[in-house]
């Protein structure tokens, strides 16, 4: 067994590998960029080496720096995680040529499965069913269109070197083909440096089913059953589960046997995934499931397989890379219960899933119920330089229904902020009736996207709780008279409040909190985080009009400050400009007065509700 390993990655997967290595008594080394100097994976490892600036092309994608770091620290092996250099055959070979252990498949296996057209030809020869299509070398547009006409529309044009949903176009009728082909080729050339494409028959009710395989250097290959990753948005997985809904034993046996044949055809070693596309229009049938591609690395969604099999796949990777045989034979592996995973992102579904960067002040989920795989913790910064995934939330239960319920409860009960996340979107996806029935396909989210991403409103119960907290003990909040009293007006039984998006609500006042009044009440419901304040006559995008406190309406960067302490201002005068979510927001004076405080400067990163400027009327 190896004594030390360098993890050539960052974030969640680096932390995941460190946990298993530590349990096995293996010393860990990580690498980090300028942006990750204080990252969790850096602090968790036994040793860390700086390898460059924040851009990945200057750090995590520079193989020579990573190999040098391994030699510098005496690491025996390199684990690539997923993404970055994990499927780079040249890097894998360089690691081995340097006398280090590569925790992954042989470079020849990565190469064999690296191009979709060559991989499909190889799988066809190995007796693995492949999707009907054209994989020829002739890339002339008229030839490709002729082949598409023969296959029959709709067809899918796919870049042979593609991945992550890039270099892919759906063509539903013949007169759309040439324009779609040109667009696909341009994107493929820009993204992968290779504009060659293949054409596949497009499956009308597609399901994405994948099989976890594992091989060792002794000729053993096993499968660890299937996962269903059909719930996707623009070819990006949203919910992953194991086993696949509707999979019977006979179909599972044929599918998994085909996956093992695929792995053996490339002398596969380590963890890999054989991805299939299924026509689910008549349920899952072996004669309607075809090979799509192979991922020659550990998958993001590997925890659901771990949960149903009781296997630590990272431990298996480290053992197999050290030359040991697989810890279990095929007949020792079985499915236990149901597992489900969602990816929690710092992104705003209501704004096209734009990333939401900034500081993570609160990050709490019920870990007695849900496994949280993450590379961040409270106080961490979600950087604009990398993928904005905060965590993977995984549950394991006896049944699929229980798994869905547990995961929705975790999303509802958990708290993550002040960044905007996709937690509410995930909560609604899991609650969709079609998904709950198991009738999933890759187009489900796209068809319902408007409803799933609509910004919800807080419930009456949530508003009532917020009002009670804002009024507090004694019924007098920090904003003056509130609750049941108004000067020269009848008593009120509601309180008007405003959320972080500028929406006003009438909140029932049925009781107050037995505590001092709060300036801001935060209510978490259905994965959504509502930041509620007493209503006030808003001037521009200001924060605290009633007290003259100008608060940041969202996390962002101050790009200009127009006033100074002691300056007299008039109502509506520009105070400062905040850049957030690639947009500029002007904050103005709510009334005539004098600036008494300026607590920020151009270039500062600020969090939601940070006090930026204060104005006094005296």
Return the DSSP state at 547. G
For residue 512, cis peptide bond before it (omega within 30 degrees of 0): no
Per the residue annotation, which of 233, 252, 269, 297 is the catalytic one?
Answer: 297
Cα 607–Cα 609–Cα 611 angle in degrees, nearest 5: 95
Closest listed residue to residue 544, CA positions, set 557, 556, 531, 559? 531
Pure H helices in 385-502: 400-413, 423-430, 433-437, 444-447, 449-453, 460-471
What is the C-alpha to C-alpha distance for residues 83 and 91, in angstroms, rounded to an integer? 13
Contact partners, residue 517, CB within 8 Å, separation at least 6? 469, 470, 471, 472, 473, 474, 476, 477, 478, 482
- Asked if 297 is an active-site residue, the reply is yes
Pure H helices in 193-232: none
Q: What is the secondary structure of 127-168 as a DSSP string?
A: T--B-SEE--S---HHHHHHHHHHH-SSEEEEEEEEETTEEE
What is the C-alpha to C-alpha distance for residues 420 and 345, in angstroms, rounded to an integer? 9
What is the C-alpha to C-alpha distance for residues 214 and 13, in angstroms, rounded to an integer? 19
Q: In what side-by-side order are the strands of the sheet with 549-551?
A: 549-551, 611-616, 593-598, 568-569
Q: What Cα–Cα distance (Å) separates residue 318 from each residue in 25, 79, 110, 338, 379?
A: 12, 8, 18, 26, 32
Under 8 Å between Cβ of 81 and 300: no
Closest listed residue to residue 227, CA positions, set 305, 115, 312, 111? 305
Closest listed residue to residue 67, CA positions, set 29, 21, 19? 29
What is the C-alpha to C-alpha distance for residues 615 and 529, in angstroms, rounded to an integer? 29
Contact partners, residue 136, CB within 8 Å, separation at least 6? 143, 147
Phi, psi of 592 (to 5 degrees): -65, 140
C-beta atoms surrounding 430 within 10 Å: 21
Provide the CB-side half-sphere exposure for 101 (13 A, CA): 24
C-beta atoms surrounding 565 within 10 Å: 12
Contact partners, residue 28, CB within 8 Å, separation at least 6? 4, 5, 6, 7, 17, 18, 21, 22, 44, 45, 46, 47
Provide the CB-side half-sphere exposure for 400 (13 A, CA): 18
Between strands 415-417 and 476-477, the pairing is: unpaired
Q: Which residues are catalytic?
A: 297
């Amino acid at each position: 067994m190896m004594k030390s390993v360098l993890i050539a990655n960052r974030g969640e997967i680096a932390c995941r590998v460190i946990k298993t290595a530590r349990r096995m008594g293996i010393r860990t080394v990580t690498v980090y960029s300028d942006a990750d100097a204080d990252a969790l994976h850096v602090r968790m490892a036994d040793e860390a080496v700086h390898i460059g600036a924040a851009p990945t092309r200057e750090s995590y994608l520079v193989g020579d720096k990573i190999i040098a770091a391994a030699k510098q620290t005496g690491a025996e092996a390199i684990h690539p995680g997923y993404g970055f250099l994990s499927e780079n055959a040249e890097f894998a070979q360089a690691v081995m040529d340097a006398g280090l252990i590569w925790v992954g498949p042989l470079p020849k296996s990565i190469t064999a499965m690296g191009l979709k057209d060559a991989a499909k030809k190889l799988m066809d020869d190995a007796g693995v069913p492949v999707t009907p299509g054209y994989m020829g070398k002739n890339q002339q547009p008229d030839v490709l269109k002729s082949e598409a006409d023969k296959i029959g529309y709709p067809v899918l044009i796919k870049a042979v070197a593609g991945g992550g949903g890039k270099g892919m176009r759906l063509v539903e009728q013949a007169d759309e083909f040439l324009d779609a082909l040109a667009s696909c080729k341009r994107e493929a050339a820009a993204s992968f440096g290779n504009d060659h494409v293949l054409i596949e028959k497009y499956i009308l009710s597609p399901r994405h089913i994948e099989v976890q395989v594992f091989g060792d250097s002794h000729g053993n290959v096993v499968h660890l059953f299937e996962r269903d990753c059909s719930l996707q948005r623009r070819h990006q997985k949203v919910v992953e589960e194991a086993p696949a809904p509707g999979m019977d034993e006979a179909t599972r046996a044929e599918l998994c046997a085909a996956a093992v044949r695929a792995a053996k055809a490339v002398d596969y070693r380590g963890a890999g995934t054989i991805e299939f596309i299924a026509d689910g229009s008549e349920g899952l049938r072996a004669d309607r499931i075809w090979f799509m591609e192979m991922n020659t690395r550990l998958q993001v969604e590997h925890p659901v397989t771990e949960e149903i099999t009781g296997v630590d796949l990272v431990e298996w990777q480290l053992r197999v890379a050290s030359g040991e045989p697989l810890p279990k034979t095929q007949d020792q592996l079985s499915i236990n219960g149901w597992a489900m995973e969602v990816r929690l992102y710092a992104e705003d579904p209501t704004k096209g899933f734009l990333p939401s960067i900034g500081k993570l002040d609160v990050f709490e989920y019920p870990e007695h119920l849900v496994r949280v795989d993450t590379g961040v913790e409270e106080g961490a910064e979600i950087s604009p330089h990398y993928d904005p995934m905060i965590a993977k939330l995984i549950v394991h239960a006896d049944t699929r229904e229980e798994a869905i319920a547990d995961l929705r409860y975790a999303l509802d009960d958990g708290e993550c902020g002040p960044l905007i996340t996709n937690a509410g979107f995930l909560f609604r996806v899991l609650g969709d009736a079609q998904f709950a029935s198991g009738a999933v396909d890759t187009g489900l989210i796209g068809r319902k996207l408007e409803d799933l991403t609509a910004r919800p409103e807080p419930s009456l119960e949530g508003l009532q709780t917020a009002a009670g907290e804002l009024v507090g003990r004694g019924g007098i909040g920090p904003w003056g008279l509130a609750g049941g009293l108004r000067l020269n007006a009848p008593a009120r039984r509601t309180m008007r409040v405003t959320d972080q998006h500028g929406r006003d609500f009438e909140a029932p006042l049925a009781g107050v909190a037995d505590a001092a009044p709060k300036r801001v009440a935060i209510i978490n419901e259905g994965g959504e985080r509502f930041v509620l304040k007493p209503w006030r006559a808003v001037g521009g995008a200001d924060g605290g009009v009633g007290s003259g406190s100008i608060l940041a309406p969202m996390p962002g960067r101050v790009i200009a400050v127009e006033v100074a302490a002691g300056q007299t201002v008039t109502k509506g005068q520009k105070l400062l400009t905040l850049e957030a979510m690639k947009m500029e927001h002007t904050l103005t004076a709510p009334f005539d007065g004098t600036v008494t405080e300026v607590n920020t400067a151009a270039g500062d990163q600020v969090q939601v509700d940070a006090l930026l400027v204060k104005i006094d009327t005296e």
